[in-house]
Amino acid sequence: MTEMTENAITCAWHPIETKNSIYNKQFSTGELPIEPNRYSLVWGAFCPWATPVAILIDLSGLDQVIYKSPVYPLRHSGINDDWFFGKDDSTVDPILKTNRLSQSYQKTDPNFTGRAGVPSLVDVQTGRVVNADPNELLTELIDPWTAYTKDGTKNLFQPKLREAIQATNQKIIDNLSTVIGKIETVSSQESYNQLG
């Protein structure tokens, strides 16, 4: 079992920063087949990038055709570039049959040595990450998948409101990451109370 760090950080506060096309395939272009029960969203409720995608899946009814694989919210000791599916290394995600997210990145690219980030959409058949861009995932999971969404949910992420929604999401993320950065430097209750 991997030990947890005393001050185990939850989110690295930004997803992987790559526009590598092998991690950003799209349904709208036909690169990815739209098939029920073929994909799983690897996410964490603690992550401001992953949560909007998970909420969209739930509200739209896509949770009936797209799985969700939540990661354990704390990093394992000494491993700040990966997410595990449980408190210890032996916990295996029942859908993806892996114990850590980097295994899906390595199936996509055997030479992968970067940081495995959430959200990541994984093809359950191949075990590969097919899209790891949170903004793209919002559009790619609503428009091409309308045949599987609940009635009336196409308006959840309307094209005319997308820019404003994404700007609001970014403002929330910026504010959260600023607070987290400040919290990490606090050494007393008094200092914490002054963060307000």
Q: How many domains does the chain have?
A: 1
Task: Identify the residue whose tokens are 């992420």.
Answer: 157
Sheet holding 129-131, edge to edge: 67-70, 39-43, 120-123, 129-131
114 is a domain residue: yes
34-70: pLDDT as tens digits: 999 999 999 999 888 899 899 999 999 999 999 999 9
Q: Judge whether 58 lies within some domain.
A: yes
Q: Indicate whether 127 belongs to any domain.
A: yes
CA–CA distance, 169 with 165 (Å, rounded to integer): 6
Query: Looking up tokens 């295996």, which residue turns up?
Result: 92
Domain CATH code at residue 37: 3.40.30.10
- Looking at the domain assignment, is residue 15 inside a domain? no
| pTM for this prediction | 0.80
Q: Is the residue at 151 inside a domain?
A: yes
Residues spanned by the domain of 43: 21-193
Residue 185 in any domain: the answer is yes
Domain annotation covers residue 45: yes
pLDDT tens, residue by residue, 82-123: 999 999 889 999 999 999 999 999 999 999 988 899 999 999
Q: Is residue 132 part of a domain?
A: yes
